[in-house]
Amino acid sequence: MRRHGAVWAVVIVIGAVGLAACGSSSPSSSVTTTTAIAPAAALATGTYAPAGASGQPHYVITISSAENTQFEGAMNFVYQDGTTSHVFDFSGKVTGQNAVATPTNVAAPGSATRTVSSVPNSLQIDVGNDSLTFEGCQAYLPQVTSSSACTFNGSR
């Protein structure tokens, strides 16, 4: 009887160690599962504009599609009278709270509208809670006079 008790004790200890090993996680696995943000929540389709832009000439972002980590959109300039001018289209990928977009169909730099200058090949975007910040946009958007105008808030 004593021998069976010892065997059962060993089986219970081995089983407990095995279960503990299955339930543990390495620090790297917990980091990788918490960094992704679903674009459906972070980059919802719709219109994004700088705070206080109503009635003033400003740039506006439209996200036309966001699936998985991919998104597409366009930037336009809205004049004081409400007419718009195309600035560029873009597509990109969200990783965590950052996105990288590639501009396409860019308006000619120095055009009569003066809404765009030399646009970089890659746009860095900080993705916030219902906001997008195009890092350094004042370097390629001549009508932007402060870095705060590079932050576009959802206005769906």
Q: Which two tokens stand for residue 33?
A: 């599962």
Contacts of 138 (CB under 8 A, 6+ apart): 144, 145, 146, 147, 149, 150
Q: Which two tokens stand for residue 42?
A: 């972070």
Residues 138, 149 contacting (CB under 8 angstroms): yes
Which amino acid, residue 116? V
- pLDDT digit string, tens, across residues 117-136: 788 999 999 998 889 999 99
Output the pTM of the full model. Answer: 0.70
Q: Give me the pLDDT at residue 70, please.
A: 93
Q: Which two tokens stand for residue 79?
A: 């004049």
Q: Give me the pLDDT at residue 121, please.
A: 92
Q: Give me the pLDDT at residue 3, please.
A: 46
Residues 39, 94 contacting (CB under 8 angstroms): yes
Q: Give me the pLDDT at residue 14, please.
A: 41
- Residues 140, 118: Cα–Cα separation, whole Å: 6
Q: Give me the pLDDT at residue 42, please.
A: 57
- pLDDT digit string, tens, across residues 7-61: 434 344 344 434 344 444 444 444 444 444 444 445 788 999 999 888 889 999 9
- pLDDT digit string, tens, across residues 60-114: 999 999 988 999 999 999 998 989 999 999 999 999 899 999 999 988 766 656 6
32, containing H or E segment: helix 27-34
Whether the predicted pLDDT of 148 surpasses 70: yes
